[in-house]
Amino acid sequence: MTLKTILASTALCATLALGAVQAQAAQLVVGFSQIGSESGWRAAETTVTREQAKAHGVTLKFSDAQQKQENQISAIRAFIAQNVDAIFLAPVVATGWDPVLKEAKDANIPVILLDRLIDTQDPSLYLTAVGSDVVHEGNVAGTWLVGAVGTKPCNVVEIQGTVGSSPAIGRKKGFEQAIAGHDNIKIIRSQTGDFVRAKGKEVMESFIKAEDNGKNICAVFAHNDDMVVGAIQAIKEAGLKPGKDILVVSIDGVPDMLKAQMAGEDNASVELTPNMAGPAFDALIAFKEHGTIPPHFIQTKSKLLLPADAQAEYDEKKNLGY
Amino acid sequence: MNRPSLKSNALRSVRPAAPQVMALILVLCADWLVSHQFFNIRLQSGRLFGSVIDVFYHGAPVALLAIGMSLVIATGGIDLSVGAIMAISGAFAAVLINSNVPLWETIALALALGGLCGLWNGFLVAIIRIQPIVATLILLVAGRGIAQLITGGQIVTFDDVHLIGVASSSLLAIPLPIVIAALVLLITIALVRWTALGLLIEATGANALSSRYAGVETRVVTVSVYVWSGLCAGMAGIIAAADIRGADANNVGLWTELDAILAVVLGGASLLGGRFGLVRSVIGALIIQAMNTGILLSGFQPEFNLIVKAVVVLVVLLLQSPAMLRGIRSMRRRVAS
């Protein structure tokens, strides 16, 4: 610890001599254990985390776990051995983190969770968690639909995420909360598309055929954009106009959906921001510099993306590796 | 060995399919029960459109896999890598077409890559003598990684009308994937039933050692069935990519190898090798898809999908089980006496 202080003070003198303003943040080293690259969103999150580290003057040590918890645990142990200043963790599964996070706690290294939570009896194992609230996301989507249809009767078909996954459960719940009390809006069919494009298309095809060739459907709500991209195609193949004959709303805000908005084929999407690291770095630096204890959960904004801003959003996102 | 005449050979691949046809008709009737417009067909932008068409359209990729898988299983092997090969070929096709490679070259190269994957599997199984389930597991694991390398981990979308046309265009109003699967089926039947190849495949599967002593080039036979399986998977991968106008390396063909194996099993083949029926395997693939489409139309809670699927598969397999049929027969006799 003393060695660290000496090092810090030398570095401080050096930076002061250089006339730099960022005192402490300049030396922060953060280890980031990322799940892998299972989706475009995940790749974008990695890109944004690197950008945010640069913007905050933090040195980032990156480790890709290739979807395996054991890789994440060994990465965290390696970070502890290297005595980093903090560890960012996007946990691949919810359970089994207590022992390794206890090791980090014993080494006095704060851990911040990104975009997913863990199941633990001991809330002191991590400093804070940055993520979106899936129920809120569904609620924003539902609220948009309520506003869009007004008092007109509207039959909604829902394409769910993977059965039993927390985003699917939460987004469904939030959407249902938003349309509760609006008796003109009903979910008439709901089926899972496993969060993937091909299944979103196949499920939408079956909805269209089961509901009088789509004449009975006023809107489609999908738990993610990929499924909706497939659904839009199914609507077109059935000779209907997506965005007009059938309203389209989903969650994520990926570039392919923004393209669909520009083409007038998609009405709204709730953004799941890939910038989980920005708030995490802010909280970490405040904690390191002033000892500010952050709230135990930092909720990211769930911005509603509409066609009017699609072009600007797209330009911003197209190079993030989605 | 004297070869049976061409006619009986061609018939042999059709006639014993009765239980599979019955099962397919049963599942289709069940589909009609849950959704009364199931058999309604209309023309939409010049192509047939309806739920029953969906069964054939979405069944085409698994049917293709089942054709290759039938031959592999007939040699006593198994190919777990077909889903990953779908991902590889689809990814390669998407990247090529986006680099302005002409359509036919794109398809040829993507198919060749599928064939090359099959050659690798065949090499491991026949030359290095690794057990097929282990040998093909290697590509099952690594293949998706290769596909992700090709796509850079993203869903590579394309707007090339010709490649999209592989899925969205039609021949005489029949969606092209159905035509392609039917063509591949006919070509495969011609190859294995109108030549001695089918006999050699069955001989290799029944008893490789005695076949070798009898002068069968079992290694060549084994390698070629894996190559054929790879080519079929490549074609399925191109169709799957064209269907969503993009190569989704993470998800395309995920667990589809199990559907292909199930299709072959529903087709009444033994996993121990020997006798096989191509038409029966394709009907098996259609049973699976008819089940999937029916579940989607039914409006059941998605939580029930897998249970319904398992029950239907169990019933179809029981209908085919010799022990079960014997039991039913002896019960009938007892009731009659």
In this complex, the residue of A189, A192, A198 whose CB is nearest that of residue B240 is A198
Over 80: is that where the pLDDT of A16 sits?
no
Whole-angstrom CA distances from B312 to A210, B28, B118 are: 22, 12, 32
Residue A66's pLDDT is what?
A: 85
Q: Which residue has the higher pLDDT, A6 or B98?
A: B98
Over 60: is that where the pLDDT of B45 sits?
yes
Average the pLDDT over B7-34 and give the result: 75
Mean pLDDT is lowest, of A15-29, A209-223, B181-195, for A15-29
Average the pLDDT over B103-112 and give the result: 97
In this complex, the residue of A163, A189, A203 whose CB is nearest that of residue B303 is A163
B156-157 and B47-49 beta bridge pairing:
unpaired
Rounded to 5 degrees, φ, ψ at A299 are -85, 130
pLDDT tens-digit readout, B61-78: 999 999 999 999 999 999
Q: What token pair was written down for A246?
A: 């059938």
The answer to whether B250 contacts A233, with C-beta atoms less than 8 Å apart, is: no
Query: pTM of this prediction?
Result: 0.88
Q: What token pair was written down for A299?
A: 């909720």
The answer to whether A201 contacts B37, with C-beta atoms less than 8 Å apart, is: no
The answer to whether A209 contacts B251, with C-beta atoms less than 8 Å apart, is: no
CA neighbor of B160 nearest in space, from B104, B108, B100: B100
| Element containing residue B11 per DSSP (H, E) | helix B6-12
Q: Which residue of A has its CA nearest to B41?
A: A209
Residue A207's pLDDT is what?
A: 97
A-chain residues near B245 (CB < 8 A): 233
B-chain residues near A201 (CB < 8 A): 243-244
Average the pLDDT over A143-164 and give the result: 94
Question: In percent, how much of chain B has pLDDT > 70?
Answer: 95
Average the pLDDT over A25-51 and give the result: 86
**Residues A117, A129 contacting (CB under 8 angstroms):** yes
Residue A13's pLDDT is what?
A: 47
Quote the mean pLDDT of chain A: 90
Q: Which residue of B has its CA nearest to A44?
A: B154
pLDDT tens-digit readout, A41-79: 888 999 999 999 999 999 999 999 988 899 999 999 999
CA–CA dist B307, B313 (Å, integer): 10
The answer to whether B45 contacts A256, with C-beta atoms less than 8 Å apart, is: no
Mean pLDDT is lowest, of A176-185, B30-39, B40-49, B308-317, for B308-317
Residue A78's pLDDT is what?
A: 97
A-chain residues near B299 (CB < 8 A): 189, 210
Residue A192: how many other CB atoms lie within 10 Å? 24
pLDDT tens-digit readout, B278-334: 999 999 999 999 999 999 999 888 888 889 888 888 888 887 777 777 888 888 888
Is some CB atom of chain A closer than 8 A to the CB atom of B154?
A: yes
Average the pLDDT over A88-97 and give the result: 92
**Min Cα separation A236/chain B (Å):** 10
pLDDT tens-digit readout, B194-234: 999 999 999 999 888 999 999 889 999 999 999 999 999 99
Residue A152's pLDDT is what?
A: 94
Mean pLDDT is lowest, of A253-257, A272-276, B318-322, B330-334, for B318-322
Q: CA triplet A141, A226, A208: central angle to 5 degrees?
A: 75
pLDDT tens-digit readout, A96-116: 999 999 999 999 999 999 998
Q: CA triplet A64, A70, A75: central angle to 5 degrees?
A: 50
Over 90: is that where the pLDDT of A39 sits?
no
**Residues B31, B39 contacting (CB under 8 angstroms):** no
CA neighbor of B81 nearest in space, from B139, B145, B148, B124: B139
Average the pLDDT over B255-262 and give the result: 94
**Residues A266, A242 contacting (CB under 8 angstroms):** yes
Confidence of residue A6 (pLDDT cuts 50, 70, 90): low
Average the pLDDT over B264-271 and give the result: 89
Burial grade of B49 (CB within 10 A; 0-12, 13-18, 19 or more): buried
B-chain residues near A196 (CB < 8 A): 248, 251
CA neighbor of B86 nearest in space, from B209, B224, B247: B247
B-chain residues near A164 (CB < 8 A): 303
Is some CB atom of chain A closer than 8 A to the CB atom of B50?
A: yes
Residue A111's pLDDT is what?
A: 97
Question: In percent, how much of chain A has pLDDT > 70?
Answer: 92
Q: In what order do the strands lie in the sheet with A219-222?
A: A185-192, A154-160, A219-222, A247-252, A268-271, A304-305
Confidence of residue A309 (pLDDT cuts 50, 70, 90): very high
Q: Which residue of A has its CA nearest to B250?
A: A38
Unique residue bearing structure tokens 């068409």: B53
CA–CA dist B60, B47 (Å, integer): 16
Average the pLDDT over B164-187 and give the result: 96
A-chain residues near B37 (CB < 8 A): 209-210
Over 80: is that where the pLDDT of A10 sits?
no
Q: Which residue of A has its CA nearest to B45?
A: A239
Over 90: is that where the pLDDT of B16 sits?
no
Contacts of A293 (CB under 8 A, 6+ apart): A127, A287
CA–CA dist B307, A176 (Å, integer): 26
